[in-house]
Amino acid sequence: QQPVQSPQAVILREGEDAVINCSSSKALYSVHWYRQKHGEAPVFLMILLKGGEQKGHEKISASFNEKKQQSSLYLTASQLSYSGTYFCGTSYNQGGKLIFGQGTELSVKP
Q: Give kind and range of the element (H or E) at residue 55.
A: strand 54-57
Q: Which of 15, 17, 44, 54 binds another protein (CB under 8 A)?
A: 44
Q: Which stretch binds another protein (CB under 8 A): 12-20, 52-60, 68-76, 95-103?
A: 95-103
Q: Which of residues 65-94 bind another protein (CB under 8 A)?
A: 87, 89, 91, 94
Cα 73 versus chain centre, distance = 5
> Taking the complex as a whole, how short is the minimal distance between the CB of residue 15 and another protein, in angstroms?
27
Residue of 25, 40, 51, 110 that binds another protein (CB under 8 A)? 40
DSSP sequence for 72-99: EEEE-S--GGG-EEEEEEEESSTT---E
* Dihedral in degrees, nearest 10, Cα atoms 78, 84, 88, 94: -100
Residues that bind another protein (CB under 8 A): 2, 29-30, 32, 34, 39-42, 44, 47, 49, 87, 89, 91, 94-103
